[in-house]
């Protein structure tokens, strides 16, 4: 398997999950401004959507969209307990959480990275993110991870998007529970290995 990634982007989530799952994989960096991979390939020829993450499963199968990719990885390594078993209510709870992170948090962040986006609109987005952080904090007051005592793919995704606060003028100290969660996830050896591999940590 090969993961196409951009340092610190949402592709960090499946990168973490691949390491937590203990699977064998390669990574290849993508420059999203030029749509070129590290080896000089046209990334749009690999993934016509033109964005990361993309997981090349084999010669004929490419999987895109982070929540789908992380569940695929988790199911390839069920012993890692990165996702509850398919068909259980707990699995649907996980999917519910992944969808919430993707649509209610991740997508509110995206325009904040655009310098041309109006500042008034950015303030509204930051306010929306704050409300979503309130909801996540309430869950994390009850358990160390989103699904309880066990680290799952949802935690890798939340960690990745919350990490963007430092780049878009969101003061995370307003949510100490979320700050503690970030520290807890960041201390995991596989998370540190992913951060180092992407050049985000020495």
Residue 155, pLDDT above cutoff 90: yes
Residue 103 and residue 127 in one domain: yes
For residue 109, the domain's CATH number is: 1.20.1050.10
Residue 168 and residue 88 in one domain: yes
pLDDT at 33: 95
Which residue segment(s) compose the domain that 104 sits in? 83-188
Residue 58 and residue 121 in one domain: no
In angstroms, rounded to a whole number, what is the distance separating the alpha carbons of residues 133 and 118? 23
Residue 110 and residue 152 in one domain: yes
Select from 95, 164, 91, 112 the least CA-distant residue to 133. 164
pLDDT at 93: 98
pTM of the model: 0.97
Using 50, 70 and 90 to split pLDDT, how confident is the model at 166? very high
Give the helix ranges, DSSP H, for 31-118. 43-46, 66-76, 89-100, 107-109
Residue 136 and residue 59 in one domain: no
Residue 48 and residue 140 in one domain: no
Using 50, 70 and 90 to split pLDDT, how confident is the model at 202? confident
Say if 202 falls within a structural domain: no
Residue 168 and residue 101 in one domain: yes
Residue 114 and residue 178 in one domain: yes
Residue 74 and residue 87 in one domain: no
Q: How many domains are contained in the chain?
A: 2
Say if 140 falls within a structural domain: yes
Spatial CB neighbours of 62, under 8 Å, sequence gap ≥ 6: 46, 47, 54, 55, 56
pLDDT at 96: 98
pLDDT at 188: 98
In angstroms, rounded to a whole number, what is the distance separating the alpha carbons of residues 86 and 109? 30
């Amino acid at each position: 398997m090969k993961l196409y990634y951009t340092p610190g982007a949402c592709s960090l989530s499946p990168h973490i999950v691949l390491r937590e799952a203990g699977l064998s994989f390669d990574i290849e960096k993508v420059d999203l401004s030029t749509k070129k991979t590290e080896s000089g390939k046209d990334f749009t020829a690999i993934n016509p959507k033109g964005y990361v993450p993309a997981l090349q499963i084999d010669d004929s199968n490419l999987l895109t969209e982070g929540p789908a990719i992380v569940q695929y990885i988790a199911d390839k390594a069920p012993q890692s307990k990165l996702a509850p078993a398919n068909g259980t209510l707990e699995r649907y709870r996980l999917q519910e959480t992944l969808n919430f992170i993707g649509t209610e948090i991740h997508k509110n962040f995206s325009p904040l990275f655009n310098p041309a986006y109006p500042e008034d609109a950015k303030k509204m987005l930051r306010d929306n993110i704050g409300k979503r952080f309130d909801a996540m904090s309430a869950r994390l007051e009850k358990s160390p991870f989103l699904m309880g005592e066990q680290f799952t793919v949802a935690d890798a995704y939340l960690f990745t998007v919350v990490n963007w606060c430092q780049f878009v003028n969101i003061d995370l100290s307003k949510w100490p529970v979320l700050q503690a969660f970030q520290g807890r996830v960041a201390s995991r050896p596989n998370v540190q290995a992913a951060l180092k591999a992407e050049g985000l940590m020495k």
